Amino acid sequence: MTGDDEDQPEPPSAKVVTALLREARSLSRRADKLSSTAAAADDPTTQHLVAEACTSMEQLVHHLMVLERQVQRARGPAGRRGR
């Protein structure tokens, strides 16, 4: 059997993670606005689906924040060059 480390894909670059996080935060803000609008709708299914979307976006933002920290730690001081 192979080890778990061999099955793990290479983490995305810091630039990719930063772009994903920026977009996920933007979508999260839009989902929050959608939630406010859906609250006025008298449709439990719509409200439930919007709540799930908001929760999923919050989870994605959290995951990407953790991933961003991991990438920054892996880069270490050599990856943070001043200009």
Q: What is the DSSP string of 9-35?
A: PPPPPHHHHHHHHHHHHHHHHHHHHHH
Instruction: List the domain boundaries for the chain.
Output: 12-75
State the DSSP code for 53.
H
CA 46, CA 1: separation in Å to the nearest integer?
46
Q: Which helix (H) or strand (E) holds 54?
A: helix 44-75
Q: Percent of the chain, pLDDT > 90?
A: 66
Q: What pLDDT, on a 0 to 100 scale, did the predictor assign at position 83?
A: 43
Flag whether the pTM goes above 0.85.
no
Which pLDDT score is estimated for 78?
60
Q: For residue 42, what pLDDT is reported?
A: 87
Q: Which residues of the chain have pLDDT under 50?
A: 82-83
Q: Report the pLDDT value the prediction gives residue 59, as an integer from 0 to 100.
A: 98
Please give the pLDDT value at position 6.
65
